[in-house]
Structure 1
């Protein structure tokens, strides 16, 4: 069963949409991005979130103490690292599930092997995260048989059925593909999650 993550939650309207539509995970972005949220804002959104939805914090080469402070304040379930964090860095967060991100077009299997045992799952993204661009899914075909794979990059309600069928990821991660004029689009989020449930 493929699970769905809606990333880049940044306002109360987004929270209301996910509380209604029940994805398995949401992502709060703490790295420099147009979807970045402050600690204060993220903590407020987390308090209003349905407790059954797991919270993922997205970081890029952040100071470990700051990561821990944010994780505690927002009661994060999972830490997602999108930078050049080392295996040792990833291993240092004992109380959280760790997702390490890699670019799908670059030596993906070699990279994952270096972090095997240091991360619980591997997120595979396009070279420009959050851009809505996808990579060649053939690069990671079959990888989910050996590792927990989170597929990101260019996913949307129209292509998610094909992505799930081809890659068979344990989790699919969408951000720009379900956005409207001001944050997440209820219609797009609903269609995306519906397609995941149907085909996953």
Structure 2
């Protein structure tokens, strides 16, 4: 079954919505973004989150110690690295935490993705390349650039209810990551969250 991550939660209402529809994962963005939350805000949101839903922390070139602290305190269950983090950085982080690590790749070509697969992260996240941005473009990319991968990977970038079926059928990802595609006027929309969860589960069981 394709997993679902609803990323960029910022409000108690967002938590209440995901608790009703139970995606497998949600994302808290700690990097600079209009969806950025502080560790204190994330802790409050996590406290209200259904235990069946795992929280992913999204970081861009953050100090290893600050990520480790969020793992130790149980604010996040999974780490997503969305910056320029190297193999040395990932190894250092994994020595300090027990949480799975996802490394995001802004896809430009298949060779680049295959190189990223050699990193010691647990999973990849394939996102749209946009110059001078680390993510959150809200745009899809050419899925023909996705090579056959042995490592589990997430698919991100401009996903919404209307294009999920094609994306899943073409790429067969471990999971799909949605943010702007489940928003209306910049805020999470419970009806859109419900629709995408219903769509993904109807496609993949």
Q: TM-score, normalised by structure 2?
A: 0.91
Q: Which residue in the other structure is 2:123 paired with?
A: 121
Q: Which residue in the other structure is 1:134 paired with?
A: 140
1:13-162 to 2 correspondences below 5 Å: 13-92=13-92, 93=94, 94-106=97-109, 107-115=111-119, 118-128=120-130, 129-143=135-149, 146-162=150-166
Q: Which residue in the other structure is 1:177 paired with?
A: 181
1:96-145 CA-partner distances (Å, limit 9, x unpaired): 10000001224433432431xx11100000124212101101111533xx
1:20-65 CA-partner distances (Å, limit 9, x unpaired): 0000000000000011001110000000000110110000000111
Q: Is the 8 A contact 2:4 2:197 kept in 1?
A: yes
Residue 89 of structure 1: how far off its partner (Å): 1.4
- Cα distance in 1, alignment partners of residues 113 and 12 from structure 2: 38
- Cα distance in 2, alignment partners of residues 172 and 183 from structure 1: 19
Q: TM-score, normalised by structure 1?
A: 0.93
Structure 1's unaligned 5+ residue stretches are: none
Cα RMSD after superposing both structures: 1.4
